[in-house]
Structure 1
Amino acid sequence: MDRPWYLAVGDCKEDGAPFALVTVLGTSGSTPRDPGSKMVITEESTFDTIGGGQLEFLVTQQARELLEKNETDVVIRAFPLAAEAAQCCGGQVSVMIETFAATAWQIAVFGAGHVAQQLIPILSRMPCQVHWFDKRPEFLSIPVETNIKLRLIPEEVSLAVEQLPASSDVLILTHDHALDYELTKACLQRDDISLVGTIGSDTKSNRFEQRLLKDGVDEPSLGRFVCPIGIPQVKGKLPIEIAVSICAQLIARQQIDPQSTRDRRGISWRDLKKNLSEVGEISGQEIHINPNNSKSHSG
């Protein structure tokens, strides 16, 4: 698509979908674009260009194969244009393909009432992807940010629940208690839903728990059921107060991440210096790589 790569990166980050950023690292011989040229590749689209033709086709193909893994990764690959890309210019291009996984934090919101209308603008500014459901067809015309996906609740409620991504946090905020119960039960019957939070009261919670046990939901699964949803310290009943309370509870749960205690991630500084010493100038805690004046031009 005719959109600069740097704007496309921002769009992809807001949308929460996986994407790849491709950078031309080096060239030799006759090549379509110079080092530093970039493009963005998603599962369905491309933005900007590294020269088009068979080279871009091959790079796009490899990037999409990497995106299927939904992992954050870096791959550096050389493409001999004559031998592999069948381009008559005959040069060689080395590219770096950086893949960025889809936003891990997935939230489903059922209902578009007063609380949801206050909650969605807050979630639209959070690093999450939101699947927002309601029964009314006119709901689909609501203007929302790119990380909010509007969905209609089907007649068969379980079909909506089946489509939710694994590890979703589910918020059930409708004004229909019967619908709330069906959604709650369907979500708890999936063992890969992280949280099932339902708006209501302690009385509603107790009634739901008794019915859920009778309907075959086991005790461990009930541990994922939170009703009323929101931090208990907030007693306010205004929609904005409830919305902020719910969002605070979600954030608190997200920040309890055992992996965040790891001391080291990615490539160590020692390995970077070792592997880049042939192509860059190392000075103290910096590595300078000038593609137009590197130590090696062998490709």
Structure 2
Amino acid sequence: MPPTALQLRPGRAAGETLPMSVFATLRSMIEAGGRAALVSVVEVSGSSPRDVGARMAVRADGAFSGTIGGGALEWQALAEAQALLAADGGARLRRLDRSLGPDLGQCCGGRVRLTIERFDAVDLDGIAALAGVRDEAFVTLGLSEAGGRLARRLATDEEATALAPTEQRRVLPDGRVLERFGAPATAVALFGAGHVGRALALALAPLPFRLVWADARQGAFPAHVPRNVVPVAAEDPVSLLRDQPDGAIVLIMTHSHALDLAIATAALAARRFALVGVIGSATKRARFASQMRQAELESGLIDTLACPIGLPGIEGKEPAVIAASVAAQMLMVREAARARLPVFSRLAEHR
């Protein structure tokens, strides 16, 4: 039977935790079926569909969570994982080394090395300890057991410093392995729970963002929101900006242009957010810029205001289309921040 994607719970009520880590997924699989496998990309040379650190958890029946890139490579990995889980012997690890061109007929042209680790009920305590880590991103230190599978524990801060900020995996000289799991989510303050706000919250659900979603109107929020969203009934939305971390993204789409202006002005004046964006038109931007100048906001700050929000060239006004465009813009801002590259100049070229 072909493997099928394991359907995880897509949403949450306010107050629940962020999406499950791979260890929480493994724990759930083991508790339900007695065993599970972890497939990891551990080395890449040349072009490949996913980078080192991509992982998926696999059940014995072939259901899975996560991806190592799809295609023939993933299909083979799933088959190997199921075979390892079905074996009666003591094997706990398999390795795959595949050239994507000659071995698999894929066009990437690179080479990928995978590990497939089997976990059973006896491993639950160690997996549960890592599943309980509440950080969005953390580093583990692994020591090879008999057979080559890693016994992992949470790395100390000092140990984790041996892994560069952009590095996902490193084998230390003594054979121990440092691995990074997860990635820090970019903080987003989303003001307004109208049609576009709702569409955007859904569009960002599977993406590496953590949203504080503000609206003071009664009944503005849907009954259930994605796991990475915290709805806030904010009587004073501007004051919420103080609680947002440096580098956060501020998106403004309330029911009131006056409120939009107040939030945008305060956000720009703070001089610490990666993007301040307002839904609207070029006319709205011009009006806001005039009023900001009257409020003696510096022209250089006003110039960074993203209004209208979204990528240039996408003209659709349907909420889902706007949400997709804004989500793409946010990903560009996130990547630029991680690489310390200017994103605003690239966007301005197309306006």
Q: TM-score, normalization: structure 1? A: 0.57
- Hey, what's the Cα distance between the residues in 2 that align with 1:98 and 1:255? 21
Once the 2 structures are TM-superposed, how far is the Cα of residue 104 of structure 1 from its aligned partner?
A: 5.3
> In the alignment, residue 249 of structure 1 is paired with which amino acid?
Q
Unaligned stretches of 5+ residues in structure 1: 28-33, 42-58, 78-93, 262-299
- Hey, what's the Cα distance between the residues in 2 that align with 1:173 and 1:158? 13
- Hey, what's the Cα distance between the residues in 2 that align with 1:240 and 1:193? 25
- Hey, what's the Cα distance between the residues in 1 that align with 2:325 and 2:298? 28
* Aligned partner of 1:204 among 277, 284, 288: 284
Structure 2 partner of 1:36: 150
- Hey, what's the Cα distance between the residues in 1 that align with 2:332 and 2:261? 25
Q: Does residue 236 of the first structure (1) align with residue 316 of the second (2)?
A: yes
> In the alignment, residue 113 of structure 1 is paired with which amino acid?
G
Q: Does residue 163 of the first structure (1) align with residue 277 of the second (2)?
A: no
- Hey, what's the Cα distance between the residues in 2 that align with 1:20 and 1:141? 35
If you compute each CA radius of gyration, which structure gives the higher value, 1 or 2?
1
* Aligned partner of 2:138 among 4, 15, 19: 19
Q: Do the aligned partners of 1:119 and 1:244 also contact (CA within 8 Å) in 2? A: yes
Give CA-to-partner distance per residue, 1:195-254, whole Å, 9 cap, x none.
Answer: 111011222211111111122210111122011212342222221222222223333444
* Aligned partner of 2:202 among 115, 118, 121: 121
Once the 2 structures are TM-superposed, how far is the Cα of residue 20 of structure 1 from its aligned partner?
A: 3.4
Alignment root-mean-square deviation, CA: 4.2
- Hey, what's the Cα distance between the residues in 2 that align with 1:254 and 1:106? 10
* Structure 1 residues 177 and 16: alpha-carbon distance in aligned structure 2, compared to 1, 3 A threshold: farther
* Structure 1 residues 4 and 217: alpha-carbon distance in aligned structure 2, compared to 1, 3 A threshold: closer
Q: Do the aligned partners of 2:193 and 2:221 also contact (CA within 8 Å) in 1? A: no
* Structure 1 residues 231 and 16: alpha-carbon distance in aligned structure 2, compared to 1, 3 A threshold: farther
* Structure 1 residues 24 and 165: alpha-carbon distance in aligned structure 2, compared to 1, 3 A threshold: same
* Structure 1 residues 232 and 16: alpha-carbon distance in aligned structure 2, compared to 1, 3 A threshold: farther
Structure 1 partner of 2:8: none
| Identity, % of aligned positions | 27
Give CA-to-partner distance per residue, 1:19-57, whole Å, 9 cap, x none.
Answer: 333434469xxxxxx973335x5xxxxxxxxxxxxxxxx
* Aligned partner of 1:7 among 25, 30, 37: 25
* Structure 1 residues 142 and 239: alpha-carbon distance in aligned structure 2, compared to 1, 3 A threshold: same
* Structure 1 residues 18 and 150: alpha-carbon distance in aligned structure 2, compared to 1, 3 A threshold: farther
- Hey, what's the Cα distance between the residues in 1 that align with 2:145 and 2:212? 41
Count of residues paired in the alignment: 215
* Structure 1 residues 241 and 5: alpha-carbon distance in aligned structure 2, compared to 1, 3 A threshold: closer
Once the 2 structures are TM-superposed, how far is the Cα of residue 120 of structure 1 from its aligned partner?
A: 1.4
Unaligned stretches of 5+ residues in structure 2: 1-20, 27-54, 56-65, 67-129, 342-351
Structure 2 partner of 1:151: 232
What secondary structure is seen at the aligned counterpart in 2 of 1:7?
A: helix
Once the 2 structures are TM-superposed, how far is the Cα of residue 111 of structure 1 from its aligned partner?
A: 0.8
> In the alignment, residue 190 of structure 2 is paired with which amino acid?
V
- Hey, what's the Cα distance between the residues in 2 that align with 1:4 and 1:215? 49
* Aligned partner of 1:191 among 271, 274, 278: 271
Q: Do the aligned partners of 1:72 and 1:99 also contact (CA within 8 Å) in 2? A: no
- Hey, what's the Cα distance between the residues in 2 that align with 1:75 and 1:244? 35
- The residue correspondences of 1:1-299 to structure 2 (distance < 5 A) are 5=23, 7=25, 17-25=136-144, 36-39=150-153, 62-63=156-157, 98=179, 103=184, 105-136=186-217, 142-155=223-236, 157-256=237-336, 259=339
* Structure 1 residues 244 and 102: alpha-carbon distance in aligned structure 2, compared to 1, 3 A threshold: closer
